[in-house]
Chain A
Amino acid sequence: MITDLASNFYANPGSLRVVSEWLTEQCGILAVNPKLSNRISVCFNETVANLIEHNQSLSESSVLSLRVSCKPADSVLEVQVIDTGTPFNPFVMSASPLPSTLDEARIGGVGLLLIKKLTSACEYYTTSSLQNILSMTFSY
């Protein structure tokens, strides 16, 4: 059985929090374990925070979409964040190496690293209807 969930929300921090908490509730209903649920929430937050902070074609009233597909038979859960702003593939950026000292640590730029390390797979593409989709897959 495939469970599909969807929600629209605005590109601002308050709306991100509301939908993030909704996502965590849905993970609970789907019996996703707490560790994976936190990973999903972290990656979702990083994806949307990146859009809010860096995609200047979006305003705080721009509508974003979240889609979740859960395929228990394959032990896979896919989370998609969809926007209609200027396309920007964050995965073309290389993640910074891990710092070995506090001096080396960068103050920002760890969101992408979290997404890459906490997902099983992630990809970014733009559809023919100009929707930008960042897809994250989690195995459990």
Chain B
Amino acid sequence: MASVTHEDLSDVLRLVKLDGRLDMVGVGEIEMSFVSLAASSGRSVIVDLQGVDFLASVGLRCIIHSAKGLDGKGGRMCLVIGDNDAVLEVLDTVGVTDIIPTLKTNDEALALFAS
């Protein structure tokens, strides 16, 4: 089962953590919550994908949709993947790593938004 949790790190920064399998079923389980958490406030968002077991294009669609929505509100998004090579390959293959900063650790993401 896919899940989404979040923590507001400050007034301007939110951490959203996705876990599980982001296929058609999994995205159906988290899409509304994720888009609401990631794109509805003006906060910039760190999306932690370290716990994602599988990422299909339906999951990419959800991430890109949220990143665009957030961008329109003046916020920024970055992705954290840790050592999740399976997710990295999918992100890389379709060019997401070129348009949304993709980092190894949450500390790197915090440093990005502190700069």
Contact = CB atoms under 8 A, between A and B. Distances in A.
A107 B27 CA distance: 14
B115 interface: no
Interface stretch (A69-77, A79-87, A97-105, A129-137): A97-105
A49 interface: yes
Interface stretch (A1-9, A10-18, A120-128): A10-18
User: Chain A contact residues (Cβ within 8 angstroms of B): what range?
Assistant: 20 to 34
Interface in A91-120: 98-108, 110-111, 113-114, 117-118
Contacts of B90: 42, 114
Interface stretch (B3-11, B18-26, B37-45, B103-111): B18-26
Nearest to B100: A102
A62 B52 CA distance: 30
A113 B93 contact: yes
A107 to B, nearest CB: 5
Contacts of B24: 13, 16-17, 45, 49, 52
Contacts of A106: 64
Contacts of B68: 102-103, 105, 107
Tell me whether chain B's interface is mostly helix, strand or loop, or mixed.
Answer: helix
Select the residue from A13, A14, A110 with max chain B CB neighbours within 10 A.
A110
A14 B25 contact: yes
B94 A39 contact: no
A35 interface: yes
Interface in B81-114: 85-86, 89-90, 93-96, 98-100
B60 interface: yes
